[in-house]
Structure 1
Amino acid sequence: MTEAFTRPLLETIQSVHQASRQAAQLTPAQKNQALESVAQALETFAPEILAANQQDCEQAKLEGLPPPLVARLKLDTDKLQGAIAGVRQVAELADPVGEIQIKRELGDGLILQRLTCPLGLLGVIFEARPDAVIQISALGIKSGNGVVLKGGKEALNSCQAIVKAIYQGLAQTDYPPTAIALLTQRSEIQQLLELDQWVDLIIPRGSNEFVRYIQDHTRIPVLGHADGICHLYIDQAADLAQAVAITVDSKTQYPAACNAIETLLIHAEIAPKFLPMVCDALQAKGVELRGDATSRQFVELAPATETDWATEYCDLVLSIKVVDSLDQALAHIDTYGSGHTEAIVTQDQATAQTFLAHVDAAGVFHNCSTRFADGFRYGLGAEVGISTAKLPPRGPVGLEGLVTYKYQLVGNGHVVQDYSGPNAKSFTHKTLN
C-alpha cells in the first residue's frame, strides 16, 4: 500500500494503465462484486476514515482554510454513509461497457458494430473533497477505467484512509487494485497534466480559479466547470409559500455546493410581499443578504455591487435583485449565469415553458430546488463532476460520460475494390437486430 503513494509518477501511471486494461475485460458480475466488496470495506474502515478526516478538519481550521472549503472537506457519518450508498447504487446500474449501439450489414457478410468501451485512464484532481475519492473510484470500477486521484493537501489523511479501504476491498475480488492510485505531492499535478500520451481525461473538482488553471495548463481533454453561479427566479405567478421553501433549500441546504443559488431574482409585482417573507426565512438560517436598490426599498439589506452578480460565494451569502419582467430575469441569467443550473418558481405554465426553453444551462428547473442537480439524485449512482460544456457529456456526469465507443468491422476477405468500378457490388447498409 505504501508503495502506491511513493513510486515515481510515470511508473504509477503505467501501472494504472496496465491494470485498467485488465479491468476493461471483466464481466459486469465481477465489477459489481468488486463494488460490493469496496462498500463493505468502507463500512469496516469507517471509524478510521472519520478519524483521519477529523484530523484534516482540525488542521485546516488551524491553517485558516476558508469556511466553504472546510465544509467540503468535512466527512461526517451521514456523508460517508451516503457515499457508500452511492457505491451500491452504481453496482445496480446497467453496465455501460459492451453496449451495441449500431449493428449494420454493409455488404453481404460484412458486419459493422459500434460498441461502448472504457475511456482508459482518468486523472482526477480535486480540492477538499474526500468523498470524491469514493464516488469517482466507484464509477471507475463500474466503467472499467483506470483512475489516478490527486486530492488537496488539506484532505491527505482522509484520502489515504479511503484509498486504503478501497484497496482492501478490491484485494478480495478479481478487480486489480492497482487500477486506482492516489498521488500525494503537489508537484505531481503539473507532471500529470503533461502526460497526454497516457491520460485520456482530466476531471478537476474545486474552485473556479483551480479549474481554470487545470484547463489552461494541459492538452488532455478536461471535463468540469469553472463557475457555479446559479439563479432562482420567483415569478409574479409563484406560490409564495412554495417559493420561500425552494429558495431556502436552494441556498442553505448545502451552501458550499456548486448547485446552491448565488442570486435570487424576484418579479417586481410580488416583491413588496415576498421580500419580507423570504428575507426573514433566509436570515433565520444565518444567510447574509445583499440587495439592489429596488429590493432595499422593501427590506433593509446591504447593497449589492456589480461584483456580487458575478460571484460564486459557496457560503451563506445571497444577492437579491428585483426585475420588471421574465425577459429582464432571462437577460440577467444570460449575462451572469455560468451554464450550471437555473430555476424558476411559477404557477404559470406558459411562463415556465418559456424559461425552460430559453435558458441555456446544463440544468433548467421548474418549481424545485437547484440542489437536485446531482448525479446521485439523478439516479446516476454518483458523479465524477458536473460539466457545463455544450458538447456532451453535460450536467452531472456519471457512467455514460466515462465510456466512448469503437467500430468493429468483421468480414470474410472483403476488399474495397469489389465495391468500386463499373461492376461494383452494392452496399446493403441494412440495420440488424
Structure 2
Amino acid sequence: CYLDELNFLEVETPVLIKSTPEGARDFVVPSRMNPGEFYALPQSPQTLKQLLMVSGFDRYFQIVKCFRDEDLRADRQPEFTQIDCEMSFVEQEDVLNIFEGMIKHLFKKIRGIEFNEPFLRMTWADAMKYYGSDKPDMRFGMKFVEMKDLTEGHNFVVFDSAEYVGGICAEGCATYTRKQLDELTEFVKRPQIGAKGLVYVRFDENGTPKSSVDKFYSADDLKKWGERFGAKPGDLLLILAGPAMKTRKALCELRLEMGSRLGLRDKDTFAPLWVIDFPLFEWDEETQRFYAMHHPFTSPKAEDIPLLDSDTGAVRANAYDMVINGVELGGGSIRIHDSELQDHMFRLLGFTEEQALDQFGFLINAFKYGAPPHGGLAFGLDRLVSMFAGLDSIRDCIAFPKNNSGRDVMLNAPSVLAESQLEELCIKVNPKN
C-alpha cells in the first residue's frame, strides 16, 4: 500500500459522533439511553483526525464512510466513502507532493498510465476567471477571454449595460449553421444556466468576420475581438454578457457543451489539476454573514492574516482540491493549530465563546495542550472508482445506491417507524402536510 510505505497508520474513528454546524446537514441518530439527545453520523472525520494529530499521531489514514444530508446528483450520494488522511508537521507543499504521488501510483497500477510531469496548479481566482468553475475540465482549451473594454461606446445596450462581457473561441466551428447557433442560444437560456442570449462572430476562410451584432460593430471592431481571442480563419467566437459571476458560470456550461460537441472530453484522456488558494470565507446574502468555505479549522494564508478584520472576504485559505476532468476527486487544507487564531476564526464566523465551546469544546480544550502544525485531505473513493471505470455516475459503482430522492428502492428506505419504537426513543413525529 502506497500509504503504508510512507508510514501512515490506519486508525478507525467512530461513526456515532457529536453534531456540529458549518457544513452540510447532519444525519442524526436518537439515543435511547440518553432521551432527547442525538448522535450525528460524521460528514467526515475532520475533528477526530485533528485530535489524533494533537494526541501525538504522526500520519493517519482510513477508508471511511461519511454521511451528508444534501441534494443529490450524479457524483453525490447521502453516504459515500473517503480515503481520509492527515499529517503532522507539514506545509501545503508536503501534502500536495505526497498525494499527487498517490494518484500517480493509482493511475499506473490501475490504468497503466504514467504521469511524468508535475500536475498543473491553478489558483481558485484564475479558475473562476478563465473557466467559471472551481473544478475546470482541462482536457481542452477554450479559455475565457474578457472583452468589455472592446465593446463599449457602440450603442449596443446588452454589452454597454453589462458588468461582464466575455466569451470562448471554438476552433474550426465557423461552419456552424444558423440552426446550430440557435440551439446554442436556447442552451444558454435554459433556466438552470440563465443567460439572456448569445452573440456569435464567425471568421470565414479568409478571416472575414460575420456576426449577429454587425449593425453595431464594424468589421475592424470584430477583427480586434478576434485578435483578443487569438482567433484564426474558420473559428467561431461565442460571447455572453451580464453579471460577472453568473455570466462566467453560464459561459462555463457553454464551454463544456462545446467540448462535448467537438469530442474533446474523451473518458480515456486525463488532465489532473490542483486548484489552490481558495477564499477562506464566503458571504451569504440571506443571513448577512460569512461562512467558512471549507470548515472553521482551515488555516488562512499567513500573509493574509492581517486582513481577517479589515478585508475578511479577501482572505485566502491554505486549501486545495484535486480536480481531474472537471470532477473534484478530493480536497483538504492546512489546519489552524494556534488557539488564538482559532478563537479569532470562530468570532468571525459569528460564534460566541459559549457557542464555540458547546460545539467544539473537545477540540478547543485539546489545543490548550499544544497542537502541531497539521494538514491533510480526503479523496472520494467512489469518484475515483467511477473515473477509473469510465462511468458517468458514482451510483454505477455503489451497491444499493440511493436515488435522487435519497431512497434505497431495493430496501424501501427510509421508512416509517412503529409507534412503540418512537416512544422508546422519546420522539414524537410531526409529519409535514
More helix by share: 1
Q: Would you say same fold, with TM above 0.5?
A: no
TM-score normalised by length of structure 1: 0.28
TM-score normalised by length of structure 2: 0.28
